Chain A
Amino acid sequence: MRPFTNLTAGLSNLFRKERVEQELDEELRNFQEAKVEEHIRAGMTRAQAQRAARLEIGSEDAVKERVREVGWESAIESLWQDIRYGARILRRSPGYTAAAVLTLALGIGANTAIFSVVNWLVLRPLPVQNPAQLVYLQFPTTNNNGYPQFSYPEFQDLQQAGKGVFSEITAFRFGGSAGGQSGQDGLTVNGETKSVQTCFVAGNFFSFLGIRPYLGRLILPGEGASIGADPVVVLSYRYWRTRFAGDQSVIGKRALINGHPVTIVGVAPRNFYGLTPLIDMEAYLPLGMAYVDGEHALDMFRDRKSPGANVFARLRPGVTREQAQSSLASLAKRFLDESPRAGATNMLEVRPLRPPALITGANPLPALTAVFLTLAALVLALAALNVTNLQVVRASMRRHEMAVRSALGAKRSRLVRQMLTESLLLGLMGGGGGLGLGLAVSHLLPSLPMQTELPFVFDFRLDWRVFGYTILAALLAGSLIGVGSALHASSGNLSGSLHESGRAFAGGRQRLRSWLVIVQVGGSLALLIAAGLFVRSMRSAERADLGFNPEHVLNVTPNPYQLGYSSAQERNFYHQLLERVRALPAAKSASLVMAVPFGEVSDQVEVDVPGYKASKEEGPPTPNYNDVSTQFFATLQMKLLSGRDFNDADTENSAPVVVINQAMAEHFWPHQSAIGKSFTLSSWKPKRAVQVVGVVANAHTLELAAPIEPLIFFPITQHSADVLTLQVRSDGDPLLLAPSIRQIISGLDSAMPVRSVQSMAEAVNSINGLLLFELAAGIAGALGLLGLVLAVVGVYGVISYSVSQRRQEIGIRMALGATASQILRMISRQSFLIVAGSVPLGLLAAFAVGKLLTDFLVGVSPTDPLTYAAVTALLIAVALIAGYLPARRATRVNPMVALRHE
């Protein structure tokens, strides 16, 4: 065979169908006429000859059909017939079709929504050249927080040593909060200062990625190697659109970053958000410009023991990550010997960029997405079961049609194919609805109050992955439904139903339907229990004793740093601010703090505690710290356990002191009082001892779910960040204080940018705080509710159907004297059986799902008996009510009507 001739001939037959048919007609007519003439020549009359020819040739249609069947295109044609027939059938019962499509759209939509989030977070490759080759280099640490680990000289060493395995190596440094302690940087254009998330990149950063500018130019190789040499900035497309409304004249403009002059030279490509997940890098500057973030940002250039950059590389083709890793092993060992990194072993890891792991803490993304994809798949399975049920009901109503078609010569395989086609059609229609629904839902996510100034990006664009996943889900659901209903349709003797009324089959068919419903209700139970666990987890997180009181506290963050204030100017500004705010009558107390609880700012400091020997895995202890003013503990109502609070006597020139939390006291000085103990900070040169003067009770300030870790409080007079948040406690609604505080700030400097004016209670709902719990509970709850609705529809459907099938029987029973309550009991027995079968099934499934959830639940065990009992009771009640309604209708059957019905 020549596949190509075959293909073209088949296609031309498909597209010139009429012509081909005409030719075939003509050819057959010629043939017949020739036959007739042959018979006439043999001596027949014309009429006899025609008759004889017809007899010889037989049915002209049969001949044509056999000719048509020769090519593959006939298979397509019969498929097309099936589709048209299926569409006609579906159109004929719009109510049924709508119910089925809506059910599937909900099920598929849930999957599309969750998948489009997963796609953005985990799957979609970065929009750069050959993204699969990109890796980043990191020493694994205990907290794995993505902090910069390399100094500039070390980066240069890596560039030399990595030549064999990497085609290029680049580095960047997060600006602002992510890299240090100053919060975001300020970009002043046309006299207006706004926050910007900066990223300082090595000159080869963009050529390394292989991307082209949207406008102007990008940072060029060779720029940024020397300090302050290239004062240029490239904006992200998103920032440029939002802040400058896409104004092209911005290119070439002079601007200020934290008061330092720069020139805007270009805009990065659309859909490029930098190499970090979730957060948009809004402005790129050469690495050598990092001093705009403060002098300390330059340490990484001067001191090879001062890490300040993250290092990324592109693997040479054919080189594996393991090979790259082992080729750098000896250099990595030297780095560690020169300057140990907290918790790092001597293995430098070469990690892939996807799934992303550059967020703080262990990376929960893959596991969390697996959990939600599983729950969504469960919902879809339930929806498909539901529609299968509907199809089976309809199939029994269509037994006549099937029997007739079968009698007319349709093969059984053709009938099964018809069922499959119909189901796939339903699946695809549901998929279309689901795609729209899912995308609409996922687009709601970015409108969530994130309680942060960080430029989070949610890019849930429809791409081929989301589209493919949706279509796959639709086809899977469709074929599940098709196979289920075809199994049902092909069981039993079709021709039997031509002779009978169809009712007699109830027994066996009912059993299959009951099983479908049992599985469905069981699945809903598992889903609901998972949702219940998430809701309970959120409740317990909300009620958890934080160790401080977030009520009645206002947070305001003015940012003198973004205006380029000197340290002395900053100190003066904060001093005056605090004094004037404290003078407000409504302010009970006011304080300044570097890291607001659950905010995006946090930092760690390496300490040396005399007498404390750290284990090898722990490495040098680096507890979290915070810089606070006087009255901080009073404003947040944190409990002082022993010692004293900071006071005005703790000044720049007095002996350095700290307050620590209980966890820190117990960690370093177990079974003794920590008051009066001292330790040194490795970063302070010359080394000076700080003395512990107070111990406060543990409080959750960084993460809700994690155990509380050691924490040091420094007085801002002795250890301070550039950007501080003002916190004010009042008696009433703290937001009422906002106008007068804004007035005070603009009285001090009218150009002062102010961000995050919010109550502390709101701030707790950040992504580090309650937000994730609420999100998880919300999504799981929605999925659970969907499951419950599907279960109700399933039970209601199966009982209604059974009642309608047994009308005659019920009529006879009532005519023979059965009471309404006896009938009710008879019908309800079925719902009890369904519930009795589904509950153990559901509980088993819930245990399995619960295992997956363990890591994401706070204050509730994955086998929490209360949740299991309450949810099971709820489901039983709902299922029984769903079954009761049609059962009650059965008692109203009029015996005479029912008996005459046939």
Chain B
Amino acid sequence: MAPDKNSGLVQGTLDMLILKTLALEPLHGYGIGIRIEQISKGVFQVNAGSLFPALRRLERAGLLKSEWRDTENNRRAKYYILSEAGRKQLKQETREWEAQTSAIARILAARLGEI
């Protein structure tokens, strides 16, 4: 199996990244992977073994919808679209994530005497 670069991802964040990517515009599986890679400047590479189960899971939970569309180079591909529920979920997860990261940042930046 290919080296799993996204295994470094914090558990559950892949879902959030997918939701965020799709909040920008509907994409197919490959597009999602590339978009995450681009935005993260190559820090996160999503492989098929993680991406597709995640897509199926999010779709099953009603956070995504999908439809087959023609791609820019005239192929048929399954596009994923963020649903209303997915939008809410993304908002909530983003809030939680920000709260957590700022908390972690504070802890990491802490020095004795400042507490």
Contacts and interface: CB of A to CB of B under 8 A. Distances in A.
B47 A56 contact: yes
A24 B62 CA distance: 18
Interface string A13-35: 00000000001101110110111
Contacts of A57: 2, 47-49
Given A2-B85, A55-B2, A62-B1, A27 B52 contact: yes
A66 B2 contact: no
Interface stretch (B13-21, B53-61, B90-98, B99-107): B53-61
B26 interface: no
Contacts of B30: 30-31, 34-35
A71 interface: yes
Contacts of A641: none
A63 B85 CA distance: 27
B28 interface: yes
Contacts of A24: 52
A67 B56 contact: yes
B28 A30 contact: yes
Interface residues of A, number: 29
B60 A31 contact: no
A408 interface: no
A67 B28 CA distance: 16
B78 interface: yes
Given A6-B60, A57-B48, A66 B1 contact: no
Given A23-B78, A58-B49, A62-B49, A70 B60 contact: yes
Contact of A5 (B29, B34, B60, B78): B60
Interface in B36-84: 47-49, 52-53, 56-57, 59-62, 75-78
A363 to B, nearest CB: 57
A702 B108 CA distance: 96
B77 A30 contact: yes
Given A27-B78, A30-B28, A57-B47, A63 B2 contact: no
Nearest to B56: A70
Contacts of B53: 63, 66-67, 69-70
- The interface residues of chain A, by DSSP majority, are classed as helix
Nearest to A69: B53
Q: Which of A1, A9, A34, A69 has the most CB of B within 10 A?
A: A34
Interface centre among B29, B48, B56, B75 (most CB of A within 10 A): B48
Q: Which of B29, B49, B61, B62 counts the most chain A CB atoms within 10 A?
A: B49
B47 A27 contact: no
A57 B29 CA distance: 13
A59 interface: yes
Contacts of B34: 38
Contacts of B29: 27, 30-31
Contacts of A71: 56, 60
Nearest to B3: A56
A2 B59 CA distance: 11
A846 B75 CA distance: 79
A216 B89 CA distance: 66
A38 B34 CA distance: 10
Contacts of A10: 60
A53 to B, nearest CB: 10
Nearest to B28: A30
A6 B59 CA distance: 9
A58 B61 contact: no
B21 to A, nearest CB: 15
Nearest to B47: A56
A250 B77 CA distance: 76
A38 B33 CA distance: 12
B73 to A, nearest CB: 9
Contacts of A33: 75
B52 A67 contact: yes
Contact of B1 (A23, A58, A70): A58
A67 B56 CA distance: 6
A10 B33 CA distance: 26
Nearest to A2: B62
A35 B34 CA distance: 10
B28 A59 contact: no
A71 B30 CA distance: 22
Contacts of A26: 76, 78
Contacts of B52: 24, 27-28, 31, 63, 66-67
A541 B49 CA distance: 79
A665 to B, nearest CB: 88
B75 to A, nearest CB: 7
A75 to B, nearest CB: 14
Contact of A63 (B48, B60, B61, B76): B48
A58 B48 contact: yes
B61 A5 contact: yes
A502 B97 CA distance: 57
B107 to A, nearest CB: 32
Contacts of B85: 2
Nearest to A37: B73
Give the interface centre of A6, A57, A59 by most chain B CB atoms within 10 Å.
Answer: A57
Contacts of B77: 27, 30
Contact of A30 (B1, B49, B62, B75): B75
A6 B61 CA distance: 6
A38 B60 CA distance: 30
Contacts of A35: 30
B88 to A, nearest CB: 12
Nearest to B57: A70
A56 B78 CA distance: 21
A32 to B, nearest CB: 8
Interface string A64-102: 001101110000000000000000000000000000000
A902 B87 CA distance: 68
A649 to B, nearest CB: 101
Contacts of A55: 2
Nearest to B4: A58
Nearest to A24: B52
A76 to B, nearest CB: 15
Contacts of B47: 56-58
B42 to A, nearest CB: 13
Nearest to A60: B48
B83 to A, nearest CB: 10
A58 B48 CA distance: 8
Given A63-B53, A71-B60, 17 more contacts: A10-B60, A26-B78, A27-B52, A30-B30, A31-B29, A31-B48, A35-B30, A56-B48, A57-B2, A57-B48, A62-B1, A62-B49, A63-B49, A66-B49, A66-B52, A67-B56, A70-B60
State the 5 A-B residue pairs at the shortest beta-carbon distance, nearest first: A58-B1, A34-B30, A5-B62, A56-B2, A70-B56
13 contacts: A5-B60, A9-B59, A23-B78, A24-B52, A27-B52, A31-B30, A38-B34, A57-B49, A58-B1, A58-B2, A58-B48, A63-B49, A70-B60
Interface of B: 1-2, 28-30, 33-34, 47-49, 52-53, 56-57, 59-62, 75-78, 85
